[in-house]
Amino acid sequence: MPAGNGGLSPRLRKVLEDMAERIIPSGGPDYPGARDVHLADQVIEMIQSFPGAMRGFRAALMLWELSPLFLSFQFRTFSRLSPEGQNHYLESWEKSRFFFRRAALTGLKGLFMVRFYGDARVHEKIGYRESCLQPLEQVVPPWSPEEEGR
């Protein structure tokens, strides 16, 4: 695997980047998007933090890449579809009557969202401040101390 791709081939790297860009588009009114925060790099970093997970992740990306050939009878892989075609294909998974397809896409979205909403640039855009959280020792329990002894 080439250095700088996080253990992914250029083809699988493109699949990951394309999927992230389709789910969290860049360059629009909702800036930042996937490309703006280097979401693919962040997801790769997270996956690499789990021993052995990269192998399964590569297999999952390859399944996503090849699935249009087998599941929608298109003559292109996911990364060779147009952006509109990729959107349409992902929407078909989202609306599928098959639980596995809907669950796989939901899991992928969750993976992207965890890293995306953890980025400081996104915090700034949505007005989130880490200082708004109280340290655990300052949290007041929802019950009164008098009821504790009962």
Cα gap 102→98, rounded to integer Å: 7
Percent share of the chain, pLDDT over 90: 65
Cα gap 38→7, rounded to integer Å: 16
pLDDT digits (tens, 9 = 90+) for 36-65: 999 999 999 999 999 899 999 999 999 999
Q: How many residues does the chain have?
A: 150
CA 26 to chain CA centroid, nearest Å: 14
Give Rg (Cα) of the chain: 20
pLDDT digits (tens, 9 = 90+) for 65-107: 999 999 887 789 999 999 999 999 999 999 999 999 999 999 9
Domain ranges of the chain: 10-148
pTM of the model: 0.79
Question: Residues 27-34: what's their mean pLDDT?
Answer: 81
- Which pLDDT does position 5 carry in this prediction? 67
- Which pLDDT does position 150 carry in this prediction? 53
Chain-wide mean pLDDT for the chain? 86
- In this structure, the number of other CB atoms found within 10 A of the CB of residue 19 comes to 26
pLDDT digits (tens, 9 = 90+) for 112-140: 999 999 998 888 888 887 765 555 565 55
> How would DSSP label each residue in 120-141?
HHHHHHHT--GGGSPPGGGPPP
Cα gap 47→12, rounded to integer Å: 14
CA dist list (Å): 86 to 69, 123, 129, 138: 13, 28, 34, 48
16 has a pLDDT exceeding 90: yes
Cα gap 142→39, rounded to integer Å: 38
117 token code pair? 């909403």
23 has a pLDDT exceeding 80: yes
Cα gap 20→5, rounded to integer Å: 15
121 token code pair? 């640039």
